[in-house]
Structure 1
């Protein structure tokens, strides 16, 4: 963590700017909270920032995420993190029937909630993701906003672990 805590603004933003999808503002908000004791403390800072947002700010965070197996995935335009996550869940290898079902459910979900369905793909496979999409569409907007932000927190944890591991490898290679 010493190397991470010593990062100046721009390198910190480059390293952690996609911990929350396209979330350079999140990384910028927590940069001033350094030093972090450990990876958990860094994650807690991200979570506390998101928890402090009003509902429309939380909705904005969710809108930064791509639809599962959506248009960006089909056009190969996902961030490297999202592409890896969706691939590991099997969302980039769908049958035509699965693809059509997810596309329909994504559309219905966004029409109802005005933000995309977000789930931590690293903790799920496509069968579970499809089932969750079918189930969660029946929730209230408040419940889905809370569930979506909690999923973003899970995603952020994995991305922070990846980003801090990269920093550790970089520090070791400089020795």
Structure 2
């Protein structure tokens, strides 16, 4: 789909098409649709980034809480969104050794307990378990404010890649 096609969609069609570019947070698409027309794919991406950046802290936390744990029970129960399932499988998180899975589950639990939301990382850009575990180890010592920022920055990366799956590059 080209950006011109995106601009021609009915609001409801836009909202349906982009409802999960921010994981399980369709409110983003409902807000961004009001900013059309977009001149480019980049402008569309910037609109979603600005939406995320301008949320208050409670809303940013809600966005982060909408993300599933990496290699968590939802993956193995086939209850992830299609996007998340594909991203986690693409990073091999559905094929971890027992040791890797146990380490990831332990670190995810520590992270969630400390910050109140799951560890969010763009697995398509960190597609090896070693890099994901390294990211967890590096970010666990941070404070909550730093992790809200890190998490939202990773949501932006995920969002951009998901938009690029929908809209052709200019």
Q: Give the alignment's TM-score, normalised by structure 2.
A: 0.95
Q: What CA RMSD, in Å, does the superposition of the two structures yield over aligned residues? A: 0.8
Alpha-carbon distance, 1:108 to partner? 0.8
Q: Does 1:149 align with 2:143?
A: no
Q: 1:93 aligns with which of 85, 92, 95?
A: 95
Q: Report the Cα distance in structure 1 between the residues aligned to 2:24 and 2:15, rounded to whole angstroms.
A: 11
Q: Report the Cα distance in structure 1 between the residues aligned to 2:40 and 2:163, rounded to whole angstroms.
A: 11
Instruction: Give the aligned partner of residue 112 of structure 1.
Output: 114
Alpha-carbon distance, 1:163 to partner? 1.3
Q: Report the Cα distance in structure 2 between the residues aligned to 1:36 and 1:21, rounded to whole angstroms.
A: 22
Instruction: Give the aligned partner of residue 168 of structure 1.
Output: none
Q: Report the Cα distance in structure 2 between the residues aligned to 1:23 and 1:43, rounded to whole angstroms.
A: 16
Q: Report the Cα distance in structure 2 between the residues aligned to 1:130 and 1:74, rounded to whole angstroms.
A: 19
Q: Does 1:52 align with 2:54?
A: yes
1:28-48 deviations in whole A, cap 9, x for unaligned? 000010001111111100010
Question: What secondary structure sits across from 1:45 in the alignment?
Answer: helix
Q: Report the Cα distance in structure 2 between the residues aligned to 1:117 and 1:34, rounded to whole angstroms.
A: 32
Which consecutive residues of structure 2, in runs of 5 or more, have no partner in the other structure? none
Instruction: Give the aligned partner of residue 22 of structure 2.
Output: 20
Q: Report the Cα distance in structure 2 between the residues aligned to 1:156 and 1:137, rounded to whole angstroms.
A: 23
Q: 1:4 aligns with which of 3, 6, 12?
A: 6
Q: Report the Cα distance in structure 2 between the residues aligned to 1:25 and 1:109, rounded to whole angstroms.
A: 26
Instruction: Give the aligned partner of residue 161 of structure 2.
Output: 158
Instruction: Give the aligned partner of residue 143 of structure 2.
Output: 140
Q: Report the Cα distance in structure 2 between the residues aligned to 1:161 and 1:72, rounded to whole angstroms.
A: 25
1:120-150 deviations in whole A, cap 9, x for unaligned? 0000121100111122111110111100000
Instruction: Give the aligned partner of residue 74 of structure 1.
Output: 76
Question: What secondary structure sits across from 2:156 in the alignment?
Answer: helix
Instruction: Give the aligned partner of residue 170 of structure 1.
Output: none
Q: Report the Cα distance in structure 1 between the residues aligned to 2:42 and 2:118, rounded to whole angstroms.
A: 27
Q: Which has the higher contact order (CA 8 A, sep 6+)?
A: 2
Q: Report the Cα distance in structure 1 between the residues aligned to 2:104 and 2:87, rounded to whole angstroms.
A: 16
